Amino acid sequence: MCTKPDMIPKCLWLIVLVGLCITGNLSLDCNLLNVHLRRVTLQNLRLLSSMSNSFPRECLKENKDFELPQEILSHTQTVKRGLREAFYEVSIQAFHIFSQYTFEPTWKLKHLNQIQMGLDKQLEYLEQCLQEEENENADVKEAAMKYSGAQGPQVHNLELRRYFNKMHNFLKEKKYSHCAWDIVQVEIRRCIYYFYQFTALLRRK
């Protein structure tokens, strides 16, 4: 778990590098959706926080460092769409992890349902925007891709998937114990939090 302070910036760096350059003009709908995306994301963060408020002390010794790889630092060709895509990936992977949670007690399940509802809404907003852009800017995107190298978004997504893969493997290894779930939840919350900070960048243009 990222209890060490130097671990926290690693997720931050991923987002920083994905969101450094803000270019392009997006449809107004996306700008409006961003406002609501931020609101929904904040709600989800609050939910996730309240769920992991009672983090049991005995789970601390099972800490795991799901370090985000530093190689992402070398990719500076970042577009607003890249940040949105990365956030979409994070949301989908978080949703996927939570949909495998099948624990009692029922109060936790109810809470979990709310998180899934929230993430679903988050995904709706992101999908609407991404699909619209896909249709609108098909030509612009192709030109941009040729210029910056088609590897760009693929590499981001590999890094993100490696990160979530570590969480999946951790859960399997610990046989989906309560501690393992709590640790993974906190990690997901931390990651979504940094993306939340960067959705502010999406708003500015």
Partner 1 sequence: MLALLGATALVLVAGTPWVLPAAGGGINLNCSQNLEVNIIDDNVTLKWNRRDESVRNTTFSADYEKPETDNWIRLPGCQHVTGTECSFSLPVLNVFKEIKFRVRAEQGITSSWCEVISITPFAKAQIGPPGVHLEAEDTAIIVKLSSPGTKDSIIWALEGSSFLYSLVIWKNSSSVERRTKNVYPRDTIYELSPETTYCLKVKAEILVLRKVGVYSPVYCINTTVENKIPRPENLDVSVKNQRYVLKWDHAFANVTFRVQWLHAFAKRNPGSHLYQWKQITDCENITTTQCVFPQNLFLRGIYYLRVQASDGNNSSFWSEEKRFDIEIISIIHPPIINVKSTSDSLRIYMDAPQDSENEPVNQHVPLSYEIILWKNTSNAERKILENNRDFTIPHLQPLTVYCLKARAHLVDKKQNKSSIFSDAVCEKTKPGNSSKSWLIAGICLGLFALIAVVYFVKVLQKAITYVFFPSLKPSSNIDKVRTLLFFVNV
Binding region for partner 1 (CB under 8 A): 28-29, 31-33, 35-36, 39, 85, 88-89, 92-93, 95-96, 99-100, 102, 113-114, 116-121, 123, 127-128, 130-131, 134, 153-154, 157-158, 161-162, 164-165, 168
Eight-state DSSP code of residue 63: -
Cα separation of 102 and 114, whole Å?
A: 14
Question: Which CB atom, from 103 or from 177, has the smaller least distance to partner 1?
Answer: 103
Which single residue is written with the structure tokens 């931020």? 38
Rg (alpha carbons) of the chain, rounded to whole number: 17
Quote the least distance from Cβ 1 to partner 1, whole Å: 20
Quote the least distance from Cβ 46 to partner 1, whole Å: 12
Cα separation of 147 and 171, whole Å?
A: 40
Cα separation of 164 and 161, whole Å?
A: 5
- Are the beta carbons of 201 and 16 closer than 8 angstroms? no
Question: Which CB atom, from 1 or from 119, has the smaller least distance to partner 1?
Answer: 119
Question: Which CB atom, from 38 or from 59, has the smaller least distance to partner 1?
Answer: 38
34, exposed or middle or buried, with CB in 10 Å at 0-12, 13-18, 19+? Answer: buried
Question: Which CB atom, from 57 or from 175, has the smaller least distance to partner 1?
Answer: 175
Residue 57, number of CB atoms within 10 A of its CB = 6
Quote the least distance from Cβ 16 to partner 1, whole Å: 19
Contacts of 176 by beta carbon, 8 Å cutoff, 6+ apart: none
3-state secondary structure of 193: helix
Quote the least distance from Cβ 76 to partner 1, whole Å: 19
Quote the least distance from Cβ 28 to partner 1, whole Å: 5
Q: What tokens appear for 25 in the block?
A: 């003009």
Quote the least distance from Cβ 58 to partner 1, whole Å: 29
